[in-house]
Amino acid sequence: MKAAHIKETPDGSYRVQSIQEHCQNVSMLAKSFASVFGAESIARYSGLLHDIGKYSDAFQRRINGSAEQVDHSTAGTQVAWQSGTRAGQFAAFCIGGHHAGLPDLGTRFSDVSDGTLLGKLRRNLEPFAEYKNELSIDTPSVPMWATENVNATYYFIKMLFSCLVDADYLDTEAFMSDGAVSRVIGESIRALSGKLDSYIAPWKNPSSELNLKRSHIMESVVSHAEEDRGLFSLTVPTGGGKTITSMAFALRHALMHDMHRIIYVIPYTSIIEQTQRIFENIFGEENVVAHYSGIEFSHSESEMADRRYLATENWDAPIILTTSVQFFESIYGNRTSKCRKLHNIANSVVIFDEAQMLPVPFMRPCVLAISQLVQHFGCSAVLCTATQPALNPILSEYAPELLVKELCPDSLFIDPVFSRVTYKQLGKLSDDELALRLEQIPQVLCIVNSRRQAQDLYRSLPEDGRFHLSTTMTPSHRKQTLDTIRKRLQAGDKCRVISTSLIEAGVDIDFPVVYRALAGLDSILQAGGRCNREGKREQVDSTVYVFESEHKTPELIGQNCTAAQRTMSKKLDIASKDAISDYFGFLLYSLKSKDSLDQKGIEQKMKQFAFATIAREFKLITGAEYTVYIPCPESNSLLKALTEVGPTRWLLRKLGQYAVNVYENQFDSMVEEGVIERLAENAGVLRDRSRYSMETGLSS
């Protein structure tokens, strides 16, 4: 019997999992995962072939202690490719990348050492033919749609790859942990739908006109849940109960169509703690996974069954809460740690909260991903927003047969009860002028466009009642700060808050006055949603001041600011549908070239099957995927377990509450200074506690 994995037991003996057992287990798991999109045959085939290189004598010497480096994934790659079928080519990509990540296809000039698929096909390998005596390999098939066009093929390979690597990880984890696999099964969609029904039951007897309108919106939206799977838009006015309403629709829709889970995607510019707390309160912590940030370990094929790799996130809970960064960078990533969860998106309802905030430089590939998930992987997508993005032209290009169905009637969107604030333009303000204005107001929120400006402005205010919010703070810390802010607002105490844009989406907070640095019109209106949120004050007494900062406008939002200034100059009611339509129409018109909406040329690279290249270049926030875990009384035991026992998915999910994401250069600099102890390729623990402030977060 030749070994795929070996584990030492407490008594000093060894347990062995044979290659035959492992390949058969992986093939059956992968087959079950791929059944959602009709790929059972090729998934089984890929699972059987993925580790046949382990039959070589060289690998058996390696697993029994030799120091030689052994390539075991290329054997199955070559066998699959040499089958001469399209299915074999698709499987070859997945098998060739099941350790190091999906490779680029390469060219006829590709070299054996360049990591491309065509390069791997030229490698000379140790004999491994013994697999033919133990594994029965049938000719695979693929669904017809997977060969219709390049886009369909690209996404099919990505999903097949996900099925293979998750199956490989899960079976390896089961062997290494004596069957104790860390998986979240959670309750059924029916049970979760019942929990939400109980939660919203009091809404049927609303206590105010505003809550009555929110109830009407929910009833109207949920009435569409029995419609066929597809693309939906949910255009709810700010303060209209969008979060719960979208979840109510998603659960009812999933129940009607036997779908597996709800994935709630929040823009990378926002925080997700409040939404997480709402969902955990309704459904229970055991049913919700909040995926804040990823942790990646370097992975070479010579490293066997390291539990670090097995701990990466796979989105197996019934409700997933994540960010646009995690969602889209996983879709366009190539590493096993990013991709193993992708197959769990299939047969799900995916809610894109604040859909208008999809990053402009990657707008086309993001919309392409959404259209492919709906067309071929059994998903329904809900483009959920308080403003109306003009995404329809791009959607109709990728999927002309898909109609976007609006869930909220116009009559409810324009109801006067949702007009709760007055917008005023102030022109340019220096930081000193802005601080002086803020000092005169007991309760005020000011939102600026950079973390540096937020920290400087915060320090310039009187200490009594000042607060700071930004992504330099851990989610747990932000949650505590927001709780304190809400209590002070309710008690009428001084409360001056300086924040970055993270407060604009998914944060239920109510100020009498808001200042917003010039940004896109959608961001300005989201800021308005933090003013007089419950309609308890008169509109004329609830003001949102829009000002131009003395600081340079971040390049990422420059075009949005230009479009907003143009719309506001027309003297329209900027919260009206006319103004919103004018803004998005001009923004996308000015960016209508494919180069503007796909600045890295992702679509062209997809035609070349350049999986690794795309993964390097598709970065919604360039270099910001480095995670720093912050020690505190609540996280110390978790960090101790991480260093002493090793990571698990449960542990990494919990630690997400005590993490700050930083840029690569910041991370590397702090590692060199000894401020951070590196745990993994993109993660570390803060060792110099003086660099984290309970007022302003992490300083780099």
Buried b (16+ CB within 10 A) or exposed e, 126-135: bebeebeebb
> What are the angstrom distances between the C-alpha of 530 and each of 149, 172, 263, 511?
45, 48, 25, 6
**The last residue of a domain, from among 142, 176, 210:** 176
Query: Is 102 contained in some domain?
Result: yes
Same domain, 236 and 335: yes
| Same-domain status, 564 and 615 | no
Structure tokens at 648: 């698990």
Go through the chain and tell me how many residues it has.
700
Name the residue range of residue 668's domain: 626-698
* 692 vs 293: which has the higher pLDDT: 692
Residue 205 lies in a domain: no
pLDDT tens readout for residues 567-604:
999 877 888 878 888 888 787 766 655 567 898 999 99
Instruction: Give the start-end residues of each E strand in 324-479.
Output: 348-353, 380-385, 404-406, 422-429, 443-447, 466-469
Domain boundary among 176, 193, 219: 176
Pure H helices in 2-39:
19-34
Q: What is the mean pLDDT of residues 151-168?
A: 97
User: What is the full DSSP assignment across 385-424?
Assistant: ESS----HHHHHHH-TTPPEEE-S-HHHHT-GGG---EEE
Structure tokens at 694: 């309970």
Same structural domain, 127 and 10 = yes
* In-domain check, residue 551: yes
Dihedrals phi, psi of 119, to nearest 5 degrees: -65, -40
pLDDT digits (tens, 9 = 90+) for 640-673: 998 887 777 788 878 888 999 888 889 999 999 9
pLDDT digits (tens, 9 = 90+) for 603-634: 999 999 999 999 999 988 765 678 999 999 99
**Do residues 515 and 554 share a domain?**
yes
Report which of residues 161 and 113 the model is more confident about. Answer: 161
Q: Are residues 19 and 162 in the same domain?
A: yes
CATH of the domain at 482: 3.40.50.300
What per-residue confidence (pLDDT) applies to 301?
Answer: 44
When the pLDDT of each residue in the chain is averaged and rounded to a whole number, the result is 88
What pLDDT, on the 0 to 100 scale, is given for residue 593?
Answer: 56
Residue 294 has pLDDT above 70, yes or no: no
Domain limit, last residue, from 591, 608, 639: 591
Which pLDDT value is given to residue 574? 86
The pLDDT of 142-161, averaged and rounded, is 97
Name the nearest CA neighbour of 682 among 692, 690, 694, 670. Answer: 670
Q: What are phi and psi of 503, to 5 degrees?
A: -80, -5
Residue 455 domain-assigned (yes or no): yes
Same domain, 566 and 678: no
Residue 611 and residue 488 in one domain: no
**CATH number, residue 57:** 1.10.3210
**Residue 427 sits in the same domain as residue 356:** no
pLDDT greater than 50 at residue 492? yes
User: Same domain for 376 and 364?
Assistant: yes
Question: What's the mean pLDDT in 505-511?
Answer: 81
Q: Is residue 217 part of a domain?
A: no
* Residue 186 maps to a domain: no
The answer to whether residues 115 and 20 belong to one domain is yes
What is the reported pLDDT for 414? Answer: 64
Return d(Cα 138, Cα 128) in angstroms, integer.
Answer: 18
User: pLDDT tens for residues 77-89?
Assistant: 999 999 999 999 9
Tally of domains within the chain:
4
For range 146-152, the mean pLDDT: 95
